[in-house]
Amino acid sequence: MIENQNTNRAKLLISCSDKPGIVSAISNFLYEHGANIVQSDQYTTDPEGGRFYMRVEFDLSDFDKDFATISERFEEVAQQFDMQWRLESEKRMKRMAIFVSKEDHCLLELLWKWRSSELHVDIPLVISNHADLQQTVESYGIPFYHIPVTKDTKPAAEQEAIDLLEKHNIDFIVLARYMQILSADFVGHFPNRIINIHHSFLPAFIGANPYAQAFERGVKLIGATAHYVTNDLDEGPIIEQDVLRVNHRYTTPQLRVAGRNVERITLARAVSWHTDDKIIVYGNKTIIFS
């Protein structure tokens, strides 16, 4: 992994009710505070009375000083338009924890992209309810924590995981086929900061054995869905979905192989968008900026 080279780059993400003057106010503010806008994207759900979304990338010559000033003073603009906003520094690498059980395809995709510098994150730890993948994870130089989970030990196990995540200052969590349902208390600690991969094209084939269900239905497409985790199982804001074409010749095991391929690609893409600050969550939907 190499350090991100855009050390002067910042990103501002905004959502609010649409009204005249928003873009002008933001642009003028950034200009007055020494920012050079390099990319600006916006989207409005409805030209009249809709919701406005914007993502701006800009460079700062005196980054630390100007970034701190913008972070402090932009609230004055935000209050004028009742904005929800966040300011991100590209030189600060996000810290990602991975949760995994026994299947390794999604885990390995993330680790490969991390090691080849395609995924700009730090990975301080991997947590698993099984010990099967410890050697694999540690071969990448990443600490592995085995926290078994049973019905009786689940609250204590989750608290142990939370303590580790807070100790390592984790920004977000990726469930790379972690086969445990997280409690509402755990999810509440990390709102819109837990990404899950679901092994079907939601809302189809929810629950156990999705590929057996798909085989019985004679599907022609195998899909996967990456989404943020909420207290409603598999119903959180969808980040990305993808499919692979199959046919009547595919057996259930062959469908499972095809599904694993689309799962790892879909999850990696969603994680990349999250780390690059390309997502705004509003309600149960996401706005993805290219």
Q: Which residues are catalytic?
A: 234
User: Comparing C-alpha atoms, which of 64, 4, 73 is closest to residue 32?
Assistant: 73
Residues 6+ away with beta carbon under 8 Å from 56: 11, 12, 14, 26, 30, 37, 39, 40, 41
284: left (phi over 0), alpha (psi -120 to 50) or beta: alpha
DSSP string, 146-203: E----TTTHHHHHHHHHHHHHHTT--EEEESS--SPPPHHHHHHSTT-EEEEESSSTT
User: Comparing C-alpha atoms, which of 7, 2, 39, 38 is closest to residue 118?
Assistant: 2
Whole-angstrom CA distances from 37 to 10, 27, 32, 40, 286 are 10, 8, 12, 7, 24
237's tokens? 């804001």
